[in-house]
Structure 1
Amino acid sequence: MISYNPKSWWGLIFKFHKSDTFRRLLPAMLSVALFSAGIAYADQHLLPNQLKGTTALHALLGFVISMLLVFRTNTAYERWWEGRRLWGSLTNASRNLALKLDAYLPDGHPSRRLLAELIGAYADNLKHHLRVSISVEHRPNRIAAQLFAEVARLNSKGELSGDKLLCLNPDLSAFADICGGCERIQKTPIPYSYSLFLKKFIFLYIVSMPFCFVPDFHYWTALITTLVFYVLASLELIAEEIENPFGDDANDLPTDDIAANIRIRVRELLVHGETGHRR
């Protein structure tokens, strides 16, 4: 995820990042500009005054396509934000579980380090699990099973009472719930037919635009069409990138940082000797 200052207008306007849509769309933008310039040249020299287009139709279609793109980007952002909420819930569940275990288990207890490693490992394994399309082994489930097994073992030995086990259960169960929510986002993309229709609509809109604009704007049509294409295609590219927020693209969630933070904070609570903190 890119860290930036949203108040730095000039810095953002003149900064080009590797994920910037301008770079990615540059070949297509050049093609659109050449196509539009070719239509303008044909209208001026080969078939003078043969095009009798009107911009009214494209103004109406532009409103329609803008509504579709608003829905598209809003849907993609909702998926991105829901993913962030789920990882925030994972952070909270990990901290709450570590806080309770810190209170229930005495200093020097051999299970403290193991539980700290398992809680931290869950976030790491979930991060990697969400970045692959097909997993041979469901590693988050395996880590969660080890967590449950260790807590159950402590309960069977009398080191964790039944009341304490009931107190720990919501945080332990939250791990599987969060994993399921993330998998739902990862494995349920935007419907194919909608994405296909929107791309075709943008293509037809841009291809037909020069024929309607050339009679009024002549060679300026190349600039206008290219600019409109850049705006519309950029919105679609941004939506494509953020609709699956668990990858390692520039605008995806900072799951590496979140997982590392969970591991550090849990170890601070349960492995006091390694952080220099003693109760």
Structure 2
Amino acid sequence: MTLNWFAQAFRLKGSVALTVLPRSLLFGMFGFLVSLLHYFYPLLSLKVLGDLTTNVVFNLVLGLLLVFRTNSAYDRYWEGRKAWGQLVFNIRNLAREIKLGIAASEPADETEKQIALRLLVTFALTTKHHLRQEPVGREVSDLIPETQNSMLEGSRNSPLEITLWLGDYLQKQFQHNHLDSMRLVALNGMLSNMVEGLTSCERILRTPIPIAYAIYLKRLILIYCVGLPFHLVDDIGWLTGISLVIVSFILFGVDQIGDDIENPFGCDANDLPLDSICDTVKTSVDQVIEFMPVGDRSLPLAFQSEKLEQLELE
């Protein structure tokens, strides 16, 4: 456990150290220049600037803004994770209900059902690309017919387009008496929950934290780091630069973490693992597709051929 703790402490992947270190070193050089200037020309008159930036009121405001920045960014991250958790939940339930609740008396009906189930995986994948503002990838084209893939490429909101296709499929199954009215209402409710999850993610993406907070916080950090060496140089002399590197590294790091997790749908190490979540959706839907009910008992697909051979022998 001790080794794991140190490995985590010195880990670079997912850390903001490499991002903030150049800024911290720059301020460390500034602290060294202040020490050098103070050595030849004592900066007693500028010590007032350092005292102003290290007083209780200034530190309190800076601390509160840092806490607000971090909490606001993490709230957005956690809300995005909950939205994707609900998406997975509703996709699994909708896949199960489509598989077991919609009758498929003809091979064509079964083919339509398979396409509808794969559309659920496509919904998760297109939602990921939509939030990352990426074009629909090859992984989507392998799941759906070419005509639907062409329509998705020209769509302004491909996940919403898929929910329209699924809603149309459910309505047609109801019209063909493959689905009763109560189950149709339940399935449409799950589909509406999927749209709600998509909308929640879009709201997080398109409603950033007000820029005034980010600007004001960065200005306070800048003022603090500029004034701090004038406060320290009388007491620690040549160590001022090293102290400034450490202090600025802490402040810049907290601010950078807020910047990194403010939009949780990207591809960085600190963003949500959307690729892994989409793989989970695909695995779940594939499991539903492979499940084949036989008579009064439901057996996995692996046992289907064996069961059919037994029935033929009888």
Same fold (TM over 0.5): yes
SS in 2 for 1:189: coil
Letter in 1 for 2:159: P
TM-score, structure 1 normalization = 0.90
- Per the TM alignment, residue 167 of structure 1 is displaced from its structure 2 partner at its CA by 1.8
Pick from 20, 24, 30: which aligns with 2:19?
24
| Residues 123 and 262, structure 1, Cα contact 8 Å, conserved in 2 | yes
Structure 2: gaps (5+ residues): 136-153, 293-299, 308-314
| Residues 130 and 246, structure 1, Cα contact 8 Å, conserved in 2 | yes
Letter in 2 for 1:209: L
* Corresponding residue number in structure 2 for 1:214: 233
Structure 1 CA distance for aligned equivalents of residues 47 and 18 of structure 2: 35
Q: Output one character per residue of 1:86-109: Cα deviation in whole Å (capped at 9) or x when no partner.
A: 000000000111111222135762
Letter in 1 for 2:95: A
Q: Could you say if the C-alpha distance between residues 265 and 48 of structure 1 is closer, same or farther in structure 2, counting changes exceeding 3 Å?
A: closer
Letter in 2 for 1:130: L
Residue 87 of structure 2 is aligned to residue 90 of structure 1: yes
Q: Output one character per residue of 1:225-275: Cα deviation in whole Å (capped at 9) or x when no partner.
A: 111111111111110110110111111001111112112201211344796
* Corresponding residue number in structure 1 for 2:121: 120
Pick from 68, 71, 90: which aligns with 1:71?
68
Structure 2 CA distance for aligned equivalents of residues 170 and 100 of structure 1: 12
- Per the TM alignment, residue 223 of structure 1 is displaced from its structure 2 partner at its CA by 1.4
Structure 1 CA distance for aligned equivalents of residues 20 and 87 of structure 2: 37
Residue 135 of structure 2 is aligned to residue 138 of structure 1: no
SS in 2 for 1:86: helix
* Corresponding residue number in structure 1 for 2:5: 9
- Per the TM alignment, residue 10 of structure 1 is displaced from its structure 2 partner at its CA by 1.0
- Per the TM alignment, residue 59 of structure 1 is displaced from its structure 2 partner at its CA by 4.5
- Per the TM alignment, residue 31 of structure 1 is displaced from its structure 2 partner at its CA by 1.1
Aligned residue pairs, count: 274
Structure 2 CA distance for aligned equivalents of residues 7 and 94 of structure 1: 40
Query: 1:23-42 counterparts in 2 under 5 A?
Result: 23-42=18-37
Letter in 2 for 1:126: T
Structure 1: gaps (5+ residues): none
Identity across matched positions, percent: 30
Structure 2 CA distance for aligned equivalents of residues 198 and 207 of structure 1: 14
* Corresponding residue number in structure 1 for 2:99: 102
Q: Could you say if the C-alpha distance between residues 256 and 166 of structure 1 is closer, same or farther in structure 2, counting changes exceeding 3 Å?
A: same
- Per the TM alignment, residue 49 of structure 1 is displaced from its structure 2 partner at its CA by 5.5
TM-score, structure 2 normalization = 0.80
| Residues 116 and 271, structure 1, Cα contact 8 Å, conserved in 2 | no
Letter in 2 for 1:265: S
Structure 1 CA distance for aligned equivalents of residues 16 and 53 of structure 2: 28
Q: Could you say if the C-alpha distance between residues 88 and 277 of structure 1 is closer, same or farther in structure 2, counting changes exceeding 3 Å?
A: farther
Letter in 1 for 2:67: V
| Residues 20 and 256, structure 2, Cα contact 8 Å, conserved in 1 | no
Structure 2 CA distance for aligned equivalents of residues 38 and 226 of structure 1: 13
* Corresponding residue number in structure 1 for 2:38: 43
Structure 2 CA distance for aligned equivalents of residues 136 and 58 of structure 1: 54
